[in-house]
A and B are shown apart, each in its own frame.
Chain A
Amino acid sequence: MSGTGRVLSALLALALLGGIALAADSDRLHDETAHNRQNFDETERGRYLATLADCTGCHTKPQGGAFMAGGYPIQTPFGTLISPNITPDIDTGIGAWSDDDFVNAVQRGRARDGAHLYPAMPYTAYSKMPRADVLAIRAYLATLPPVHNAVVSNQLPFPFRIRASMIAWNALFFHDEPFRGDPKKSGEWNRGAYLVAGPAHCGACHNSKNFLGGDTSNGMLRGGVLQGWNVPDLTEDQRTGLAGWSVDDIVAYLKTGHNRISFASGPMAEVIRASTSHWHDDDLHAVAVFLADQPAPEQPSPPAVAKTDPAMTVGQAIYVDECSACHARNGAGAPNMFPALKASPIVQSSDPTTLTRVVLHGTQNVVTAAAPTGPSMPAFGWKLTDRQTAAVLTYIRNAWGNAAPAVDAGQVSKLREAQAGN
């Protein structure tokens, strides 16, 4: 090729590239929201809605990931999904998307190319939001610095990696309808109900799931087990729910990560750090009013393990030596520092996953501006055998009026193995 030819090719290549960029840009010209980054009212509204919806919780990789640039592995019962880049980068983000593309993804679970998203993206909840709110989030996201970060989201094994399987799943579990309030309840209650069901997508974790990862029909906010943690029951269940929590307790928990009874760690710590600690107080209060009014059907308590059971005797001895310094002999803990074990829903949860994890591996409690201390539970896995761990767990689940099934060494052993390294 002659020198002139090389220059011409280069110019042609530039023109082509430019053309592509122009084409992408002209697509976006149709969309007010994506383009109008001067609309402060809209972007501010979108920023708060993105906080309510905790977009950053999945779309920003913790520890140094670029804001909203994705790349965070999300463990699901079916395998790992990597969160996509939702910065306005043209090539690897959503910069080239139209408003309809965005709404389809957020509210219908359909990618720009028509592929089905997995419900780790809580479109089932976001479908309850008005389109205008979703577009406000879109307007806010368009103000962020574009980050070039290509993500391959689908890391699922066969057969789950086949996205078309979601057609059947959606038919079973996705009810694409707007939020409907309860006219018999107050406006505040309804605001709380909307936040829980819609943007805050509490049910994504807190609704009981069936084997396909869909919500069970009677399991709204009843909790379960996800990512190696118990998901607490948010109903008013006397033993495993929030019956002992006042509206103020719930507000304090969501705002600061701590209250007089408990503190957040694990996945909920992330939710509080990134989302609820930044909510407006009236929204926190609305959610608390709604959650404090979720009656649960009376359920018989399981019988407490007898005090004379050898596991209880051994467990008590271990408890006094290793645990009582912080959690107190009477299981009452210390306000804002060490959670109470007495009457604790998570302690009495039928499945001891969280409890076992916390004793074996310890946990870092959430740190917020309002509660900066961040006391932590040290790990005991190196110090207690499976049998000793089982005994002390059985003890705290059945001391001070608590009642829950005994934990055996085999369960601890399985969880120790499953939780190793994470």
Chain B
Amino acid sequence: MTRKLPAKDAVIIGLGWTGSILAEALTRAGLDVVAIERGPWRDTATDFPTTYAPDELRYRVRHDLFLRPAQETMTFRNNSSQTALPIRSWGSFMPPNGVGGGGLHWNAETWRFLPSDFELKTHLTQRYGAKALPEDMTIQDWGVSFDDLEPHYDKFEYLCGTSGKAGNIKGAKQEGGNPFEGARARDYPTPPQKQPYGPTLFAAAAREMGYHPFPQPSGNLSQAYTNPLGVALGPCTYCGFCEWFGCGNYSKASPQTTLLPVLVRRPNFEARTLCEVSRINLDGSGKRATGVTYVDSSGEEWEQPADLVLLCAFQLFNVHLLLISGVGTPYDPNTGQGTIGRNYSYQVTSSINGFWSDKNFNPFVASGAIGYCIDEFNGDNFDHGALGFVGGGYMGAVMTNGRPILGTFLPKDTPNWGAAWKKSLAENYLGAYQFATHGSCYSYRDAYLDLDPTYTDRLGRKLLRINFDFHPNELKMSQYLTDRLGEIVQKMGPRQFDKKPRKGPYTITDYQTTHTCGGAVMGADPKASVVNRYLQSWDVPNLFVTGATSFPQNAGYNPTGTVCALAFWAADALVNQYLKHPGPLVPA
């Protein structure tokens, strides 16, 4: 039997980056807030101290920090001619679990999107004409502009202490920064991280070719920092155990190192961990959320009523909960009608492994967001007129680690095991460097999320089904970007370099990136979006949905900076508009 708890002002589903940001803003505004988190509480000293955090087998290979698929998973197929099957071991992406969410195990690459990314459909149509876009491409404008978000990007960077070099302060170009970035109000709070040898050589080659290399903005801090909430972080030690790991040095920005120490002291904040929200409850009209129902680790079911429901789980689980709870109308790929699940997108990455006999890169000296990048081939920073594709990405020498099990790179003709493998590893470990492109992924009519007709989870709910494949536009883009990157690598004079542009079909088994996006996108048109420009549900105005879930398509950057800027933007709208006049913030 479900037991009903006393009502709260707001219930937050998922205590990762966006849940923590909203909890901080709403508790500061005086609301009584409870966050319900599926996974465990996690704390630096207790759960990933330096004494054992750098354990590649435990965390990278055995996925210690991630959700166990037996608890919740999803099915996958490339297209409607296939039968989707459940994912039983994570591959292409890593669904987070526990307090801190993806913000705990990320690499901390802290980017802003380009101004044109937010007006993508309008911008590309104006520049190239509507016919230049593939017929089944469903990209759209975000309904929010870069200038709207700039103060909120700034808040996130100053919360984290992000280390970087500005390229454009209030319209004035800054030497050494990214000249393509949108105008920012001020520089990063801390200077860039120190750069290892590989990135330094890359930057020199890129500069010689007329490009403008700049240090990747990093949430792994170049120096000690105290944020505006009074929470302090230590300097990064370049150990190269960032992505897949918790940082034992308090030097990677995460909810644990920036927000939670303040939140846990607030008497009007409560977190319930190891509690999985099974559905969002709606009233009889379907237009108002009354709270959530969740199941604790004893299998007991509880109803938590609340005036406000903030859906802050990982992107895929946000969409799953919306579908399960009957919020809005599910998307139908045949008719193009409905919105929930529409415009699922991803990230198109590629790499080049370069090998030198006369260089020692010490690849173990790294951080998750180190290295030099160029942005000449991102977004619409270059003329696509004759190229036959749209989109782009950043590229650079951004190798995040030299870990012994899966962080080593060998020439492509090397066997995967045995004496020849050992010999090659010994010869190449120090002289190999991996370069990467990090490209956009636009949205298409047949890339979507829905409920699986066959498979159910432990609570009897239908699993989420992922319907996704790469489209020719993205594969052409990846080839083009990888070729441009190859020219710079070649200039660096390697003995050998192996280009690996992204190829189709999309596979769910090889790790690429955890940047799954969309499915409950934001926009100005209720027929083509699930949430308005403030991340407020069009259908249920006391429900807000955060995360990359709201991206109408993905840009050529890591999403967390934009995810969190949007969370600050939504928090601002909640506190300064919604709480004063609860109701739709944008007329439908």
Contact = CB atoms under 8 A, between A and B. Distances in A.
A372 B224 contact: no
A378 to B, nearest CB: 3
A185 interface: no
Which of A334, A364, A367, A370 gathers the greatest number of chain B CB atoms within 10 Å? A334
A371 B233 CA distance: 12
Contacts of B51: 322, 378-380, 382-383
B232 A336 contact: yes
| Interface class of chain B by DSSP | loop
A341 B454 CA distance: 61
Interface stretch (B42-50, B276-284, B329-337, B564-572): B42-50
B250 A337 contact: yes
A322 to B, nearest CB: 8
Contact of B261 (A322, A336, A373, A379): A373
Contact of A325 (B226, B232, B233, B239): B239
B231 interface: yes
Interface string B328-357: 000000000000000000000000000000
Given A335-B224, A378-B50, A378-B248, A372 B44 contact: no
Given A336-B232, A337-B232, A383-B51, A372 B237 contact: no
Interface string B257-282: 10001100100000000000000000
B229 A372 contact: yes
Nearest to A369: B265
Given A326-B50, A378-B45, A379-B51, A334 B235 contact: yes
B93 to A, nearest CB: 30
B189 interface: no
A376 B44 contact: yes
Given A334-B234, A334-B235, A369-B265, A375 B250 contact: yes
Nearest to B227: A373
B388 interface: no
Interface string A324-364: 11100000001111100000000000000000000000101
B234 A374 contact: no
A326 B250 CA distance: 9
B224 A336 contact: yes
A176 to B, nearest CB: 42
A338 to B, nearest CB: 6
Contacts of A337: 224, 232-234, 250
A375 B230 contact: no
B232 A371 contact: yes
A267 B45 CA distance: 19
Contacts of A374: 261
B239 A372 contact: no
Given A334-B224, A383-B51, A325 B249 contact: yes
Nearest to B264: A372
B234 to A, nearest CB: 4
B230 A370 contact: yes
B45 A367 contact: no
Interface in A285-335: 322, 324-326, 334-335
A326 B249 contact: yes
Contacts of A375: 44-45, 232, 234, 250
Contact of A372 (B230, B235, B250): B230
Given A338-B234, A379-B51, 14 more contacts: A325-B239, A325-B248, A325-B249, A326-B237, A334-B234, A335-B224, A336-B226, A337-B234, A337-B250, A369-B265, A371-B232, A372-B262, A373-B261, A375-B232
Interface of B: 44-45, 49-51, 224, 226, 229-235, 237, 239, 248-250, 257, 261-262, 265
Which 3 residue pairs spanning A and B have beta carbons closest together?
Answer: A378-B49, A376-B45, A372-B261
14 contacts: A322-B50, A334-B224, A334-B234, A336-B232, A338-B234, A364-B45, A372-B229, A372-B262, A373-B232, A375-B234, A377-B45, A378-B50, A379-B49, A382-B51
